[in-house]
Structure 1
Amino acid sequence: MSADSRIPAGWPALPFRDAEARLTAPGSHFEIATTPIRGVPTRIWVKAPPTLRDLFRIAQGHGDRTFVVYRDERVTFTGFSRAATALARALTAAGIEKGDRVAIAMRNLPEWPVSYFGALLAGAIATPLNAWWTGPELAYGLRHSGARVLIADGERFTRIAPHLGECPALQRVLTTRMEPDPRATPLSDLVGPPADWAGLPDAPPPDIALGPEDDATLFYTSGTTGQPKGAVGTHRAAATTVMAYPYSAARTYLRRGESPPKPDPSAPQRVALLVIPLFHVTGCHASLGAALYGGHRLVMMHRWDASAALDLIEAEGCTSAGGVPTIAWQLATAAREAGRPLPSLDAITYGGAPAAGDLVRTLGAVLPRVVPGTGWGMTETSATFTHHQGEDYLAHPDSCGPPLPVCEVRIVDPLGEALPPGAVGELCVKGPNVVRGYWNDPDATADVFSEGWLRTGDLARADAEGFLTIVDRIKDMLIRGGENIYCCEVENALYAHPDVIDAVVLPVPHPTLGEEPGAIVVLAEGAATSPEAIRAFAAERLAAFKVPVRIVVWDGLLPRNPAGKVLRASLRSIFAEPSDQYGSPPSSGR
């Protein structure tokens, strides 16, 4: 157990399994039952919203509370719900039927959740497309999904416009935040501008039968190589996620020996700084879904900037922030350098990429009031699958937490046999939030889904209580002369250096050993630590064969996809040739 000084004497007051049993007991808010899902007995939250339409109805009950803030625009829950309903009615009037795909391609804007729920209320499968994609990539998503409708902002429409003829199923394009174009219909023609949404008629959504196992979402995987696959999520899979953070918070209270506070409608509104894109499952299910469920305000940033984030947190009184670990590092660094303690902020939660154990210690030093939290999930698990916060996280700083009680984990060897606690193997998962498969790809579905279990491709280990630690991606693990090297372990050792704020470990070719570890690191602003010094630092913490033989100092942030994963393929050329020079990057590295 960690010796972190923030863990009080006598903690935990309640054993982990006892806390879980108390929270999930019959009649409790987090009661669990077992039900067949696609023929497989699966644990579910009894009181979770059965469908995303039920989640929408919960959101309607938050009324005139502010739901979304974007620059100088403010939208209430009432305005959002009326606009989404108006869009759903317009889509059904235009012939959209249950199971049709409605694609969404836009940055985080107030129109995004309206478009998403407008599609869902019409019975369509909401299909978010990566707003970072190029025109040909967007066209791929539209063709692959067979989307009949595209809702796009001006920047995305400009990219896709030359390729519209390549999308035969596409029948209608709705646009926002752009000048009129004869090839598209302004979204405002159907729902009006955001400032007028609250004045729209209070009409019911279309009367369409929706069940928990009906298809609801089609999210494209955020892999760093190859064509993305479309993961088909059900209403239950998406709605399950809204229970994750409330459950984790309640467990934290019990572990301290305190009773979880009862919901208080008169309590000040929670306010979350939304940084991660909504087209990613973490942004959509874990952030947007949680806000709709709990009545929280979402403050959208036009573009991530740590200094601007400090201003928004103070101006809006944000109580939580997060995203990927890199965002948390940059926020803590900016707050320290600016001398701004951010008194309203009491929680920072991150996931989407491995978080070094040193991050939780850095947050504690810079923002001691903040309760840190982290978890693990993927597109195929509809975001959060494991989670912990507070003292549990402080005691297990390298872990991404235990699985939620409706989720199951197996660590298996290459033959699929279960391994004991502490052993490293492939992580396999099962739960109501696991998607049903890949769109129009039976071979890929059969390759990783079997009897309710998903093979994740992650190497992991779990302790006796179930606290999970991701060790590496199977495909990213290095093998040096027959010795396995887990990149995450080496990266964590590099993160422990006070000047290193980002790191990635990649293979360096070797004529006899096959490959050795090399590292690319990003230093904090103003730091001048040499690659040799960083290598010596790592050598004090790692076995000799794991120490990077080359370290390159990278100027600027490492390239990452919207999910926070480092784009390793774009960096591999840096170590394409063996070199005796530590830290001598190619010209493209600066």
Structure 2
Amino acid sequence: MTTAADQQAFLASVMSRLTGPGSPFELVEEEVLGARIPVLPNRQRAVHELLTSAAAYGDRDYLVTEDRRMSFAEHADAVAAFAAVLREDYGVGVGDRVGILAANTIEWVVAFWATQALGAVTVGLNAWWVPREIEHGLTLTAPKVLIVDAKRAALLTEVDTDVPVLTMEQDMPRLIADRAGAELTVAEVGEDDPSVILFTSGTSGKPKGALHSQRNLVAVADYHRYSDALALAFRGQDYDPAVPSELRYLLTSPLFHIASLHNIVVPRMATGSAVVIYQGAFNVDRALTLVERERITNWGAVPTMANRLIEHGNIRKYDTSSLSAFSLASAPSSVEFKQRLQEQVPFAQDSLVDSYGLTECSTGIAVALPSDIAAFPGTLGRPVFGVALEIRDVAGEQVEEGVEGEVCVRSPYVMLGYWENPEATAASIDADRWLHTGDFGTLDGGRLRLTGRRSDLILRGGENIYPTEIEQCLDEHPDVVECAVIGEAHPDLGQEVAAIVVIANGGTANEEELRAFAAERLSYFKVPSRWRLTTEPLPRNATGKMARGKIAL
């Protein structure tokens, strides 16, 4: 019988073989932005190098939806044509921002790679935003052109902007056809030049733009190549970078999240694998039909999707035998939930993986393999390839194993900082390039165990929601004296948003009015679904700060 210790010993020997001197994934220390961190000596230096090297994959599937299929070669032609449009018609060049505001679609991916070819910065705007939020994102990043789908184009009538707009349904197909046959030209960029801006909710209110570098995205692709090599080694096979991977990935999270963009769409250029894009509201039957039809091997789902798999009750009517890796991401899940998942979802029994990561880190920080979940329940595994992780006390000093402190990480995956927000950047990343996550935990045998999340974060169906933004919105209502927004347990979403609102004397606002007020100003998932209206002041501590721990619905 193979024990967890046996598996760990074998894993250690394989990792040593893959990362030792002269090996494909040897790590050496180099100075990066003033700090010495481990990097691959033989690496690509720009995101567009992934695009050009993928030409060798030719007619292999790159992007697949329920009704479309695009090969690597077809994708390269479309990217070359659209890059020519952006460069020649809109003057997009190195460092310019190009906004994308749309649901998941093939055109989203084509627009992304065209932007990268030009050395421009892709701004992935949250497709669930309402006009006020869209306006904030556009004002902050000042894109030279904005690419949208029809649904978001309609929202722009309520946004004060003069940014040129291209639609995915009408403009992109026409313009790509007009430039058919264009040669792909790429711009010269540095490793630590910006590549992507993705938004993350902020403790101080409006969403912040996490700025990722060329190095960040290329390093994530290399991490995925390493993971593929590790998996091959476990099966007794040798890794050959010239041989494309037969893995096929189901993409079910939005493309404006790192889970989909950085960790599925970008790395597949390095591995030659297919990306099967799920579109529209999540439906178990539609997702499993794609798994069966496309022989999906890898699927990363948020716990809400996993919970719906548990509730489905008839998964066995689908052929899911191809699924060899099923991972949970974007939100924490309990030991009991993972046990239920393994008991009731056939493909989760031996393939379940859990992880911990942040938008600011581009990819996972720690990953729990099936052996970790079985032998060390409640932990999130060891730090991934290339990540240094420390637990630090309030003075910033590293603590011993078993002692609780703040999770701090340093790696080539850590963002450059927050776009146009040096104060927030300085508060998160220190002079030695350690990212202070604001999450708290311990190390247990080298494995991370989280003990508390970033102060007031609400995790609803995989979306990060900070109360401050919602509270500031509700405070704008003339009848609101003060309010507190908290997360309440929800059986499907993990948490739902709840608001406790203090109404002014003589105020007439009711729940329906406040809900409509918030819905005009916030994305639907941020609008509180539960309310308590009161005239009693909220509890505060001795310094006058709101005592959230004493507030309940």
TM-score (norm 1): 0.74
2-structure distance, mates of 1:575, 1:411: 40
Alignment check: 8 A CA contact 1:374 1:388 kept: yes
Matched, 1:43 2:31: no
Task: Show the counterpart of 1:398.
Answer: 378
Deviation at 1:223, TM superposition (A): 4.9
2-structure distance, mates of 1:209, 1:568: 40
Deviations 1:401-457 (A, max 9, x none): 211231111111122121111222111111111011111111111111112011111
Over 3 Å counting, the alpha-carbon distance change for 1:244 and 1:336 in structure 2 is farther
Alignment check: 8 A CA contact 1:286 1:384 kept: no
Alignment check: 8 A CA contact 1:225 1:569 kept: no
1-structure distance, mates of 2:381, 2:169: 41
Task: Show the counterpart of 1:296.
Answer: 273
Matched, 1:192 2:192: no
1-structure distance, mates of 2:226, 2:267: 12
Q: Kindly report which structure 2 residues correspond to 1:426-445, keeping only aligned pairs within 5 A, or say none.
A: 426-445=406-425
Deviation at 1:120, TM superposition (A): 1.0
Letter of the 2:396 counterpart: G
Deviation at 1:48, TM superposition (A): 4.2
Over 3 Å counting, the alpha-carbon distance change for 1:436 and 1:389 in structure 2 is same
Task: Show the counterpart of 2:489.
Answer: 520
2-structure distance, mates of 1:253, 1:408: 25
Letter of the 1:287 counterpart: I
- Find 2:403's aligned residue among 423, 436, 440: 423
Task: Show the counterpart of 2:126.
Answer: 130
Deviations 1:438-497 (A, max 9, x none): 1111111111111201111111211232x11222224139xxxxxxxxx99xx9xxxxxx
Deviation at 1:329, TM superposition (A): 2.9
- Find 1:334's aligned residue among 312, 328, 332: 312
Deviations 1:79-111 (A, max 9, x none): 111111211122221311210100001111010
Deviation at 1:575, TM superposition (A): 10
Alignment check: 8 A CA contact 1:348 1:371 kept: yes
- Find 2:290's aligned residue among 298, 303, 312: 312
Alignment check: 8 A CA contact 1:229 1:438 kept: yes
Over 3 Å counting, the alpha-carbon distance change for 1:314 and 1:15 in structure 2 is closer
Matched, 1:64 2:49: no
Task: Show the counterpart of 2:221.
Answer: 242
Matched, 1:177 2:169: yes
Task: Show the counterpart of 1:457.
Answer: 438
Matched, 1:278 2:255: yes
Secondary structure, aligned partner of 1:119: helix
Letter of the 1:457 counterpart: G
Deviations 1:349-371 (A, max 9, x none): 22111122234433433325651
Deviations 1:359-407 (A, max 9, x none): 4433433325651222221111012222242323432332222112311
Alignment check: 8 A CA contact 2:225 2:271 kept: no
2-structure distance, mates of 1:307, 1:264: 35
Letter of the 1:74 counterpart: R
Task: Show the counterpart of 1:355.
Answer: 333
Over 3 Å counting, the alpha-carbon distance change for 1:267 and 1:236 in structure 2 is closer
Deviations 1:207-234 (A, max 9, x none): x212211111111114587211111111
- Find 1:103's aligned residue among 99, 102, 107: 99
Over 3 Å counting, the alpha-carbon distance change for 1:571 and 1:75 in structure 2 is same
- Find 2:74's aligned residue among 79, 92, 96: 79
Deviation at 1:143, TM superposition (A): 1.0
Over 3 Å counting, the alpha-carbon distance change for 1:92 and 1:523 in structure 2 is closer
2-structure distance, mates of 1:54, 1:294: 13
Task: Show the counterpart of 2:528.
Answer: 570
Alignment check: 8 A CA contact 2:304 2:492 kept: no
Over 3 Å counting, the alpha-carbon distance change for 1:136 and 1:23 in structure 2 is same
Alignment check: 8 A CA contact 1:55 1:292 kept: yes
Over 3 Å counting, the alpha-carbon distance change for 1:269 and 1:21 in structure 2 is closer
Matched, 1:209 2:191: no
Q: Kindly report which structure 2 residues correspond to 1:413-562, keeping only aligned pairs within 5 A, or say none.
A: 413-451=393-431, 452-465=433-446, 467-476=447-456, 520-522=489-491
1-structure distance, mates of 2:226, 2:293: 29
Secondary structure, aligned partner of 1:232: strand
Over 3 Å counting, the alpha-carbon distance change for 1:370 and 1:114 in structure 2 is farther
> For structure 1, which segment, 40-49 or 443-452, has the greater mean C-alpha deviation from structure 2 after superposition?
40-49
Over 3 Å counting, the alpha-carbon distance change for 1:348 and 1:225 in structure 2 is farther
Matched, 1:148 2:144: yes
Runs of 5+ consecutive residues of structure 1 not aligned to the other structure: 1-5, 179-185, 478-486, 492-503, 507-514, 525-565, 579-588
2-structure distance, mates of 1:251, 1:397: 23
Deviations 1:98-150 (A, max 9, x none): 10100001111010111001111111111110011112211211111011110
Secondary structure, aligned partner of 2:57: coil
Matched, 1:324 2:305: no
1-structure distance, mates of 2:320, 2:413: 34
Secondary structure, aligned partner of 2:383: coil
Task: Show the counterpart of 2:539.
Answer: none
Task: Show the counterpart of 1:118.
Answer: 114
Runs of 5+ consecutive residues of structure 2 not aligned to the other structure: 468-483, 494-523, 537-552
Over 3 Å counting, the alpha-carbon distance change for 1:410 and 1:315 in structure 2 is same
2-structure distance, mates of 1:340, 1:147: 44
Deviations 1:209-267 (A, max 9, x none): 1221111111111458721111111101111112334434555676x6x6454349778
Over 3 Å counting, the alpha-carbon distance change for 1:432 and 1:71 in structure 2 is same
Deviation at 1:160, TM superposition (A): 1.5
Deviation at 1:60, TM superposition (A): 2.1
Secondary structure, aligned partner of 1:229: strand
Task: Show the counterpart of 2:470.
Answer: none
Deviation at 1:577, TM superposition (A): 11
Alignment check: 8 A CA contact 2:249 2:273 kept: yes
2-structure distance, mates of 1:349, 1:153: 29
1-structure distance, mates of 2:105, 2:57: 20
Alignment check: 8 A CA contact 2:145 2:165 kept: yes
Task: Show the counterpart of 1:384.
Answer: 364
Secondary structure, aligned partner of 1:227: strand
Calculate the aligned-residue CA RMSD, in Å: 3.5
2-structure distance, mates of 1:577, 1:48: 61
Task: Show the counterpart of 1:167.
Answer: 161
Secondary structure, aligned partner of 1:262: coil
- Find 1:218's aligned residue among 197, 220, 234: 197
Deviations 1:523-568 (A, max 9, x none): 79xxxxxxxxxxxxxxxxxxxxxxxxxxxxxxxxxxxxxxxxx968
Deviations 1:51-101 (A, max 9, x none): 211111232221111111122111111111111121112222131121010
Over 3 Å counting, the alpha-carbon distance change for 1:17 and 1:296 in structure 2 is closer
Letter of the 1:473 counterpart: R
Deviation at 1:151, TM superposition (A): 0.6
2-structure distance, mates of 1:13, 1:459: 26
Deviation at 1:315, TM superposition (A): 1.6
Secondary structure, aligned partner of 2:260: helix
- Alignment length (residue pairs): 483
1-structure distance, mates of 2:359, 2:534: 31
2-structure distance, mates of 1:106, 1:406: 32
2-structure distance, mates of 1:17, 1:574: 53
Letter of the 1:176 counterpart: M
Alignment check: 8 A CA contact 1:347 1:373 kept: yes
